Amino acid sequence: LKPPLAWLEKPFLAAEEKIYSLFLPRQKQADKVQILEGKLRQLAVEQNQLSSCLEENLEMRKLLGAPLSPKWKFLPAKVVGVSEQMRIDKGEKDGLEEGMMVVSENILVGRVVAVGRNYSLVQIPTGVDSKIPVIVREASKTGIQARGILTGHSGSLLLDKVLQAEDIREGDLVTTSGEDDWLPDLLIGQIEEVLAEPAEIYKKAQVSPLIDYRKLRTVFIVISN
């Protein structure tokens, strides 16, 4: 004997199998999409790493071609963020110490002022606490025209303490003097406007940075000099 209502079960079972057969391909398709998305994410990560390596190699080639002391040794670092200070991805575990210089080619990026385990903070020249002894040179000459102190003012640079008798002009280059434990002859900026007041003891000048610190992605720490 057939179970009661057996004739009703067959249509329901057939419908259930049909519904299941419809959803199964969709699930497989969803799984494939998920796998492909994972592969795309991995590809994007690898592409970013490759781009980063190529950029670092390019910057290293520029650094090797810059007129720097052959005794200096460098450690590349990635820029994590920039405000009044620059945060980089190298720290105590990489041998960094406070006072180390950071450069991009032969241009000063700043000096390490704080070191964590996996990061460091760099005081950039335009930061409010920055004071750098500098010399002023005419772009086409090597002689020293003037000496002064370059101070940062939240994104801008002001050259101060230049004697009235010293000749400075728009377009002159401003470089580190090598005093107060700063490495010498690193470019910082170019005089944009001379602010001379005859009644004052010192001249001042607005200085334009040679690089945009916010756009830097790779910098180099001078670890030996």
pLDDT in tens, 198-212: 888 899 999 999 999
**Pair 221, 202: CB distance under 8 Å:** no
Q: For residue range 68-120, what is the model confidence (pLDDT) as tens digits?
A: 777 888 899 999 999 989 999 999 999 999 999 999 989 999 999 999 999 99
Which residues make Cβ contacts (< 8 Å) with residue 95, sequence separation at least 6? 75, 223
- For the chain, which residues make up each domain, given as ranges? 1-65, 69-225
pTM, two decimal places: 0.71
Which residues make Cβ contacts (< 8 Å) with residue 71, sequence separation at least 6? 224, 225
Ramachandran quadrant class, 51 (left: phi over 0; alpha: psi -120 to 50; beta: rest): alpha
- pLDDT at 17 (0 to 100): 60
Percent of the chain at pLDDT > 70 equals: 71
pLDDT for residue 135 is more than 90: yes
Dihedral angle sign, alpha carbons of residues 113, 83, 131, 129: negative
Number of H helices and E strands in the chain, helices first, is: 1, 12
CA 189 from chain centre, in angstroms, equals 18
Q: Is 29 helix (H, G, I), strand (E, B) or coil?
A: helix
Instruction: Name the CATH superfamily housing domain 69-225.
Output: Rod shape-determining protein MreC, domain 1 (2.40.10.340)
